[in-house]
Chains A and B, each alone.
Chain A
Amino acid sequence: MIVLSLVAGAAAALIQTTVLPQFFLDAWTTPFLPAALVATWATTRQPIETWRITLISALILGVMSSERVGWFLLALLPISLIAVFLHEISAQNRHLTTQIGRASATALTGTICYFIILTIVAGKGSLLLAAGPDIAIACLGTMALAIIGVLAVSPFRKKPIGLF
């Protein structure tokens, strides 16, 4: 599973830098695939496994950008942190709607954190307010991807054994 998570993280980052910019011409409105992947993975498996996805995605995004790799890692950390937090407060509830809610919240807040951190370190914090509607589109796209991910994976998950 370690290898699979690393491959998934690398693939998400590569698709983010090569495929998505061709469909979303404005960087501000582009859904953030690594956040959607972390949200899906944390919801359908264990949040602790998402840290290595965060690491590999940040490394590849950083290499394919003129921004420093370290900033990408710092910008991605909150996504896994939020996933862990939400898992801890609702771990007992394994209902599908709860999982979708948890994945959506992780994707939403994680993408917002990513945009805020990278825009500020790029020295363009003043653009954030003006880009608010565009960032909202990116967040909705990321949430949608996370929800689709949860719905796609949930049929294959093992059901907990018990009387009730």
Chain B
Amino acid sequence: MTISRNAVWLSALFVTALLLLAVSLSPPAGRAEEQTRALLNPVVNFLGDLTRPIANLVLHVGDVDNLSSENALLRLEVETLTSELATLREQQQTATAIVSLLASTQENSPDPIVASVLVRDSAPGRSEMLIDKGAANGIRLGQAVIGPGGTLIGLIIDVKESHAWIQLLTANKSAIAVVAQSSRTQGALVGTGTTLQLELVERGRDIAIDDILITSSLGGRLPSGLLAGRVTSVESEPQDLFEVISVEPLSDYQRIEHVLILTNFHSPNRALEEPR
């Protein structure tokens, strides 16, 4: 008797799963999912706020010694950077004058939007994050997302009315055009699921460990000059056509709580796709 009841449950849930898969792409299902998510948001925020300090304490309790030495190094770096800053301020004044001239020739564009990260996708193999801003706030597909330190962390891949999903640069399907800041060597920054790789760089090109990669305007998807990653290793075999280049993100994607979405960049590709 119990076996037959279990068989009924199994069959019913299997059919339910298939039905859910069949209707999941329809707009009403998307709306229902979004409403449920909105309903759960207060609980999610409460649990997140409650456990974040505890998690920080637990994860960093053994790091006090490392943090002290790191702090000393950072102080030294701050002093160096302060002197560089003075030089840059001088250059900035000149640049500001030029930018204000350029701005007067462009149409008014909205400010970047600040959004909070609600959830990191817990499904295995997913490098995505849910944010609390959506189409109602001006978020659109393909917009660049900036994380801590002003670094590019990903792109908007799905937009609902009040929420949106960010695909991180480390995601398997992610690929953007980048250029090495010092040597101007171009390549494609590709996600491997857990980390980043710089591809399509021919052997012998000028690229080295610690080179900073910034976004390129090539392809027209992203504004140029956004920080994207740092080269950590460059390897190749004599028979290889391209270098095998590992890249690390410039910010810790796992610890991001707030992001900035660049809404004021209009891709030329999108402009071409729009009906005239």
Q: Which residues of A contact B (CB under 8 A)?
A: 14-23, 25-28, 30, 46-48, 51, 54-55, 58-74, 77, 80-81, 84, 88, 115, 118-119, 122-124, 127, 131, 135
Contact = CB atoms under 8 A, between A and B. Distances in A.
Nearest to B18: A70
A22 B13 contact: no
Contacts of B130: 64, 66
- Chain B contact residues: over half helix, strand or loop, or mixed? helix
A54 B14 CA distance: 11
B47 A15 contact: yes
B122 A66 contact: no
8 contacts: A14-B47, A21-B120, A27-B122, A58-B17, A61-B123, A70-B24, A73-B17, A119-B125
Contacts of B9: 48, 51, 80
B126 A14 contact: no
A73 B22 CA distance: 13
B158 interface: yes
A48 B2 contact: yes
Contacts of A69: 20, 24, 33
Nearest to A30: B122
A124 B44 contact: no
A67 B126 contact: yes
Contacts of A64: 37, 40, 44, 119, 122, 130
Given A74-B17, A77-B13, A66 B165 contact: yes
A115 B122 CA distance: 11
Contacts of B149: none
B176 to A, nearest CB: 19
A17 to B, nearest CB: 5
Interface stretch (B52-60, B76-84, B100-108, B180-188): B52-60
A118 B18 contact: no
- Chain A contact residues: over half helix, strand or loop, or mixed? helix
Given A67-B126, A81-B10, A118-B123, A73 B16 contact: yes
A68 B24 contact: yes
Contacts of A124: 125, 172, 193
A30 B120 CA distance: 13
Contacts of A15: 47
B78 to A, nearest CB: 27
Interface string B117-152: 001111111101010000000000000000000000
B124 A48 contact: no
Contacts of B19: 70
B36 interface: yes
Contacts of B59: 23, 25
Given A18-B48, A23-B59, A127-B193, A63 B37 contact: yes
Interface in B57-91: 58-59
Interface of B: 2-3, 5-6, 9-10, 13-14, 16-22, 24, 33, 36-37, 40, 43-44, 47-48, 51-52, 55, 58-59, 119-126, 128, 130, 158, 165, 172, 193-194, 254-255
Given A22-B52, A48-B6, A54-B13, A60 B122 contact: no
A74 B14 CA distance: 7
A17 B122 contact: yes
Contacts of B51: 18-19, 22-23
B122 A77 contact: no
A72 B119 CA distance: 17
B44 A71 contact: no
B12 to A, nearest CB: 8
A93 to B, nearest CB: 17
Contacts of A119: 124-125
Contacts of A23: 51, 55, 58-59
A65 B6 contact: no
A21 B16 contact: no
B122 A14 contact: no
Contacts of A48: 2, 5-6, 9
Nearest to A135: B124
